Amino acid sequence: MRRAIAAAMSRSNREIPHYYLGTEIDLTMALQWLAAANSKRPVTERILPAALLVRCVALAAREVPEMNGFWMEGAFRPSSSVHPGVAISLRDGGLVAPALHDADKKGLEEVMRDLRDLVTRARAGTLRSSEMSDPTLTVTNLGDQGVETVFGVIFPPQVALVGFGKVVERPRVRKGAVVSAATVTATLAADHRVSDGHRGGLFLAAIDRLAQKPEAL
């Protein structure tokens, strides 16, 4: 597995002209909404912030299609489907990023069920071949490792990777008053052959905007 990862990442650094952007997203309202919604659910059916963020990325990819697709044979091929590859660390070491299929068409509850199922099957070694072969962009979340900012490497032939760090309480100004807010740093690694900083900025802004209305996800 390490040899396969090494080959893919070496190819990525060799062939893909990466550019990086980052933004701080206020998750205060989203986490409050999740807490209220989860209070009515059994523990096994609660929705984690990770599912909310994957859903935001999937919907943002529909708005900015340059982030969702493949660079193949010298040209960009946008994908009509949005299949985020979710990075999952394995207990024995290594990393896989299977596809959460059609995350843009599923509600938040279904995204959470599919995410939980992917993690379980990834660690049991029972992923389907299609889940490994057709992610259209990658989402990685290292918040549980204490990381605040993620600078990822795109998995070819994909053209974008979104990284999330841990949720941190930071001061924010609201209506002239300084308040404490739960924030997460979102970063984008994108392929400069396909998009530029303007489009990448719109993509991150869309993720931020979507996260402010969790009830609509």
Catalytic positions, please? 192, 196
CA–CA dist 141, 51 (Å, integer): 10
What's the rounded Cα separation, in Å, for the pair 204 and 211? Answer: 11
Using CA atoms, how far apart are residues 25 and 89, in angstroms rounded to an integer? 24
For the four alpha carbons of 146, 151, 157 and 159, in that order, the dihedral sign comes to positive
**Three-state DSSP state, 188:** strand
Instruction: For residue 118, give the nearest of 43, 156, 130, 155 by alpha carbon.
Output: 130
| Alpha carbons 68 and 84: distance in angstroms, whole number | 9
